[in-house]
Copies of this chain bind each other. A is one copy, B any other.
Amino acid sequence: MNNFQFYAPTKVVFGRGTEEQVGALVREFGGTRALVHYGGGSAVKSGLLARVLASLDAAGVSHVELGGVVPNPRLGKVREGIALCRAEGVDFLLAVGGGSVIDSCKAIGYGMKYDGDVWDLYERKATPTASMPMGCVLTLAATGSEMSDSSVITNEDGWKKRGLSSDLSRQRFAVLNPELTFTLPAWQTASGATDILSHTQERYFSNGTDVEPTDSIAEGLMRSVIEMARRAVRDPEDYEARAAILWAGSLSHNDLTGCGRGSGGRAGDWACHQLEHELSGMFDVTHGAGLAALWGAWSRYVVDAAPSRFARFARNVMGVAEADDRKAALAGIAAYEDFLREIGMPVTIGELGVTLSDEQIQTLAWKCSFEGRRTIGSFRVLDRADMEEIYRRAR
């Protein structure tokens, strides 16, 4: 077990009807005037936004609203939010939606406390030193942004997608009501579950070492999400399945499944996430579905770096009974792809509805490698040529 820090200060308020506590929670964490940030019309149509505003009113928290956040949230909306919050004297940011809305709030928080352009921070031209207090009401189990320290923003100018991680962006509270996820279509449900599984896989496939008890927790979470994703896709109003996926989503990205792996900094591999970020930056595909489309090609490309690790995944998560490590590893990869197909996910980029040209593959790898200046991954380190090959095999 390597040295690590674990810091998950977000107060989780989980269960039926918990959105009615949001006004009191904003108050508890010092907010008196809140930005209520949301996405499209679903939070309005479902009545959730009205319930949230009523809760804020009841707690004496005044508010301004800003909707229109889109998946793969845009820098333009972030800049609009910063200007609005400054003009309106907002002292608390409240996200009502999924990971995109939370990420947009995180970027607004940084931007409000930074004198220059907020994109500087995502481009690593400056380091954030402060942010705003914020909390969220989650409507989609996927990104884990409600307990993570990270956010991802897309700059429309060049469609660059960049992530930024800092404890400054931790949510003060996260309201998680599984019923709010009942209306998610099967595609969104499955994409979310795939993203959740990927957050654990990115950490789990980080080196060849067993790390107890972190591995036990990771494997338990993966087994739960696989079982419950099957149920939630079949029956969207299966409360227990929705609850398990929602809670697993938070635990899969608050770094609980990373403790003790890797040495220093962010533990994990993250190659699939980085390859996918370029894909959804270029084609605006759903993040989880993009991960599903890449995972098999990535796995088979890297498996020989440590077949025993994939064999452990195969046996402890996918229920593969096979003594030989390499055979078990490959059977586990195939079994996971079968699961993805079962919940309606693509296992190739073609199945995503995207036909990649050779030139586009070169462009994706060029961007993902920061114009050839970085490698990605740690399970197996991947350079630009490797990235091209994985995109090609996933085609």
Contacts and interface: CB of A to CB of B under 8 A. Distances in A.
Interface of A: 1-9, 11-18, 178, 212-217, 219-221, 223-225, 227-228, 239-240, 243-244, 247-248, 251, 256, 259-260
Contacts of A12: 4-7
A228 B212 contact: yes
A17 B3 CA distance: 9
A213 B240 contact: no
6 contacts: A1-B239, A4-B12, A5-B12, A8-B9, A213-B244, A247-B260
Contacts of A216: 217, 219-221, 223-224
Contact of A6 (B14, B18, B223, B227): B14
Given A216-B220, A251-B213, A260-B243, A4 B14 contact: yes
Contact of A217 (B2, B9, B212, B217): B217
Contacts of A3: 14-18
Contact of A1 (B214, B220, B243, B259): B243
A18 B9 CA distance: 20
Nearest to A18: B3
A239 B211 CA distance: 12
A260 B228 CA distance: 16
A11 B18 contact: no
A347 to B, nearest CB: 25
A224 B213 CA distance: 6
Residue among A4, A11, A215, A216 having the largest count of chain B Cβ atoms under 10 Å:
A216
B13 A5 contact: yes
Nearest to A246: B1
A200 to B, nearest CB: 11
A221 B227 contact: no
A256 B214 CA distance: 13
Nearest to A178: B1
A201 to B, nearest CB: 15
Residue among A6, A13, A17, A214 having the largest count of chain B Cβ atoms under 10 Å:
A6
A227 B228 CA distance: 29
A15 B12 CA distance: 27
Contact of A244 (B1, B6, B220, B227): B1
Contact of A4 (B5, B15, B240): B15
B7 A11 contact: yes
Contacts of A260: 14, 243, 247
A226 B265 CA distance: 30
Contact of A247 (B213, B228, B247, B251): B213
A242 B12 CA distance: 30
Contacts of A227: 212
A248 B15 contact: no
A227 B210 CA distance: 13
Nearest to A239: B1
B225 A221 contact: no
Contacts of A223: 216
A222 to B, nearest CB: 9
A5 B14 CA distance: 6
B213 A220 contact: yes
3 A-B pairs with the lowest CB-CB distances in the bound complex, closest first: A3-B15, A216-B220, A213-B224
Residue among A214, A220, A221, A228 having the largest count of chain B Cβ atoms under 10 Å:
A220
A215 B219 CA distance: 12
A5 B11 contact: yes
Nearest to A210: B240
A8 B11 CA distance: 7
A9 B227 CA distance: 30
Contacts of A5: 11-14
